[in-house]
Each structure stands twice: as C-alpha cells, then as structure tokens.
Amino acid sequence: MIAIIDYHMSNLFSVRNALEYLGIDSEITSDVTKIMTAKGAILPGVGAFAEAMKHLKSLDLIQPIKDFVDSGKPFMGICLGLQLLLSESEEFGYTDGLGIVEGKVEKFENHENIRIVPHVGWNSVQKKNKMKRDIGIDPLSEVESGEYFYFVHSYYVKPVNEGDICTTTRYSSLEFCSSILMGNLFASQFHPEKSGEIGLKILKNFFRKREV
C-alpha cells in the first residue's frame, strides 16, 4: 500500500486515480501509523508553502515524514510536495521547510525576464545527472530529455547540492530544477499524475517495480 499523505490542502485524488489506473494500492491518510507502515509514500501538494507547513505541524506529520524518508522506503514529492522538502521558502516571507533537502524555494518574480507567473502548462525536462544507483531503480528510465510534463507553480526549488538535481526545465531565460533524486527520495515540480502516459511511467517505475 502506498500512503498518499493528507495534510488538508493537497491535490490528492488525481494522484490516487493515477495509482489506481496502474493497479497500485493506495490510501489517502494523515494517520501516522498507516503512513509509517506503508510500503511507499507520496507527499502531493497544491497551495501556499507556509500554510502547508502549519498543517503538517498541526497534524504532527513533520517528524514522521522525516522518519519515513530515513527508513529507505520509496518516497515521492509532487509540486508543493517537492518544495516542502527544502530548508526554507521565501513565499510570503521566509518559512522553514522540512529540511530534508538542503536549499531554498525562490519565486520566479525575482527574475526580471519572467513576465508571466505562474508557470502553467506543458514544458520539457532535461536529464542532468546520472541517476543514483543505490536505490536500484531509475524513475526516469523511460523518459528522454525533451519529454513534456505538466507544470503549475510560481516558485521553484534551488538545491545546494547540484548533484541531487536529476532534471531541469527552462522558463524564459531561467533554467530551474524540475526534479531531484536522493537515494530513495524522488520529487518533481511537475505533476506526473497529470502528464499522461509518460508521467504514469514515472509512478510505475518508482513504485510498482519495487514490488510494493
């Protein structure tokens, strides 16, 4: 069973529907016991960073998420679920994140050449770093550089360790990190569950091939 972590502001049902289509059992839950005993977990997300962190804190989910990542079981973050993994965000003033990935979340509006915010729609990704072999699976094994995925966001992540970046995407003159891979953790700014067959392949590779 894959736990889809419910912190009361996420785009949950499209993720569940995508897993159901792939024949992967999942449950939307904020129950710590169910999350910790799951074979894998997904932190989805749509909304504001600071509000999301407040919800995670009020539901006592911050330490369980860190413990789950430390357990070595597959963990995926999607959109805001990627951003929350970083150390801090500058959205509406600085807010501490989960600190699982060292780095910060910055806004597109900092870049004068970016006129349209949010970044919404289909855009391509470029594979930048060789995938880590310690997890035994490459979630992007069936994805070629130049493939298109669906994005909707006004902020982007800037990891300290460039080696954690597995894809980048160009928006206007800015090339930003669009996904990271760190051991058993994969997280993307794009929505694989809304990106058609190519997005479904990422979910399948990351979860089903691990026999979860």
pLDDT at 12 over 80: yes
**pLDDT over 70 for what percent of the chain?**
93
Q: Do β-strands 86-89 and 101-107 pair in parallel, antiparallel, or remain unpaired?
A: parallel
Please report which confidence band the pLDDT of residue 212 belongs to, taking 50, 70 and 90 as the band edges: very low
Alpha-carbon distance values, 66 to 43, 60, 87, 159 (Å): 12, 11, 13, 17
Helix (H, G, I), strand (E, B) or coil at 148: strand
Catalytic-residue membership of 193: yes
Mean pLDDT in residue range 134-157 = 87
Burial class of 149 by CB neighbour count within 10 A (0 to 12, 13 to 18, 19+) = buried
- Structure confidence by residue, pLDDT tens digits, 149-201: 999 999 999 999 999 999 999 999 999 999 999 989 999 999 999 999 999 99
Burial class of 87 by CB neighbour count within 10 A (0 to 12, 13 to 18, 19+) = middle
Please report which confidence band the pLDDT of residue 141 belongs to, taking 50, 70 and 90 as the band edges: confident
pLDDT given at position 115: 82
Q: Do β-strands 174-182 and 185-188 pair in parallel, antiparallel, or remain unpaired?
A: antiparallel
Please report which confidence band the pLDDT of residue 138 belongs to, taking 50, 70 and 90 as the band edges: confident
Catalytic residue among 79, 106, 153, 177: 79
Catalytic-residue membership of 51: no
Based on the structure, what is the number of domains in the chain? 1
Please report which confidence band the pLDDT of residue 43 belongs to, taking 50, 70 and 90 as the band edges: very high
- Residue 16 domain boundaries: 2-210
Catalytic residue among 27, 191, 197, 211: 191
pLDDT at 44 over 60: yes
pLDDT given at position 130: 57
Mean pLDDT in residue range 66-93 = 96
Mean pLDDT in residue range 59-83 = 97
pLDDT at 114 over 90: no
Q: Facing residues of 165 across strands?
A: 180
Catalytic residue among 109, 166, 193, 197: 193
pLDDT at 129 over 70: no
Helix, strand, coil shares, percent, the chain, to 5: 30, 35, 40
Catalytic-residue membership of 144: no
How far apart are the C-alpha atoms of 113 and 109, rounded to whole Å? 9
pLDDT given at position 210: 52
The residue ranking higher by pLDDT, 10 or 55, is: 55
Distance of CA 49 to the CA centre of its chain: 13
Mean pLDDT in residue range 94-107 = 96
pLDDT at 93 over 90: no
Please report which confidence band the pLDDT of residue 128 belongs to, taking 50, 70 and 90 as the band edges: confident
- Please report, for the domain that includes residue 149, its CATH number: 3.40.50.880
Q: Do β-strands 26-29 and 75-78 pair in parallel, antiparallel, or remain unpaired?
A: unpaired
